[in-house]
Every structure is written in structure tokens, then in C-alpha cells.
Amino acid sequence: MSLEEMNKDASSDPHPRERFENYICDVFAREIQSWDRSTSEGIYAISFFIYDYEDDPLQPQVHLSYNTLSEWERNCTRETDRSEVKWNFAFWPQDFKAIIPMYSLEGSKVVLDSDGAALRSAWLDSEGLNDSNDGDPGSDTPVVTRAFAAICVRVARRLHESGIITAKFGRTVPIIVHELEYYDAIVEQTRDANPPGASDEFDLWYTSLG
């Protein structure tokens, strides 16, 4: 099923969550398809980095980027753990290709991606999340962060299932759905975001951390 067909099916549900998810999926798909061939050949993993703008859980963003084998090798030294450099986002180039919703500076003013922000706001309102910044029972992760991560997981899965990833790279490239710190839920959601086995190497690195 193509991305267009998947979006058409999703759009039959008018829920704001679906519209927000479709928006992220469309923007990220177009961005990935625009990457040049020489770069794409070296990409071994894609990052969906989830970050709260101004540390506000009610302003989640997802940042799209990637790392390449050549960049990984360049950052490895005799003193570094090669797996750590390969999978820890702290070692990756912080060169984001798309951010949703995007905040940018125009002169002295912060300008917000109006479409993405409106869709995010409608989603938060529709699920009663605007007044919810507490963690779930048994979890330190804010409810909004967990809900937003679930959207990002579905976007990643759709990019795989629609054939966007394999058409671009000629192979399966794992999408890591993560935050600044890694914990068990990050591994679980990344596993869920990818075809079976695609994130195994990432899993093994995380497990090695003890």
C-alpha cells in the first residue's frame, strides 16, 4: 500500500490525532525522498528525536535526522566504544533535516510552523492532554510525551509499510524513536516502529549498557 493510500484510509477518521500523524508522515516522507543518492547509500539509521520545546511537555517536537557509516567511522577513536558512537545520538551530527512543529527566528521574533502547531494543538485538545503534564502511574515520562511518541512510532511504521524506506535506500534502515536519554521504553518503541529484527543492533547496544 502506498503512502497516499494509507493517508486516504487514515483521513476517513476525522480525529485530530490522525490529521497530525498524516502531517508528520507527509513532511518526513518528502524530506527522506529528497536526500541525494550518495548520502543515502551511507545512511545506516534514521533518528526521530523527541524533544520538548523550552522544556514544556505540552510542546513536543520531533526532529528528523540520520547518521552515516562514514560519520560513524570519523568519530571513532581508539578510546571510544564503537557501538556507543554508532548508536548514542550524542555522537551523531545534530543536523536536523525537518522539525515538527518548527520554531524559527525571524529577526527578534520566534516564528512557529502554523500548520504543525495547529494540528498539535487540536490533537492535545481532542485527547484532553492540554492540562496533563504528569507521568503515568509507574512512569516518570509525561503522558503527553508517551502519547506523542506513539504517534512517532506509527509514522515510522507507515514509512516502512508504504515502501518509502526501501524505495529510497534499497534496504531496510531502522528508525530510532528516542529522547536525549535512553531507557527501556525507547528500545520497545523503536522495536515497534520497525520491521522485525531491524533494530536488533540498537537493542544489543542498549542491553550492553547494563
The pTM of this model reads 0.88
Confidence of residue 38 (pLDDT cuts 50, 70, 90): very high
> Could you tell me the pLDDT band of residue 139, with boundaries at 50, 70 and 90?
low
Asked if the model's pLDDT at residue 35 lies above 90, the reply is yes
Average pLDDT, integer, range 141-163: 96
> For 194-209, how does the pLDDT look when each residue is reduced to its tens digit (9 = 90+)?
999 999 999 999 999 9
Burial 121-147 (b: 16+ CB within 10 A, else e): bebbeeeebeeeeeeeeeeeebbbbeb
Residue ranges covered by each domain of the chain? 3-208
Peptide bond just before 137 cis, omega within 30 deg = no
Do residues 102 and 64 touch, judged by C-beta distance below 8 A?
no
| pLDDT reported for residue 137 | 46
* pLDDT exceeds 50 at position 185: yes
| Residue 53 identity (one-letter amino acid) | Y
85-117 burial, b for 16+ CB within 10 Å, e for fewer?
bbbebebbeeeeebbbbbeeeeeeeeebbeebe
Longest CA pairwise span in the chain (Å):
54
Q: Tens digits of per-residue pLDDT, 100-112? A: 998 775 666 656 7
Cell of 42: 551511507
Q: For residue 54, what is the enclosing H or E element?
A: none
Instruction: Give the contacts of 88 (CB within 8 A, at least 6 positions apart).
Output: 182, 205
Q: Which residues does residue 51 pair with via DSSP β-bridges, in sequence order? A: 61
Task: State the average pLDDT over residues 75-90.
Answer: 92
Closest by CA position to 23, among listed 129, 132, 94, 102: 102
Q: Which residues, including other chains, have CB under 8 Å from residue 10's CB and lie 6 or more apart?
A: 18, 21, 22
Q: What is the mean pLDDT of residues 19-33?
A: 97
Per-residue pLDDT at 152 = 98
pLDDT at 97 over 90: yes
pLDDT-based confidence at residue 43 (cuts at 50, 70, 90): very high
d(CA 176, CA 202): 8
Cβ contacts of 148 within 8 Å, gap of 6 or more: 50, 60, 62
- 103 contact partners, CB below 8 Å, separation of at least 6: 53, 61, 110, 111, 112, 113
pLDDT over 90, % of the chain: 78
In this model, does residue 2 exceed pLDDT 50? Answer: yes
Residue 1 has a pLDDT of 47
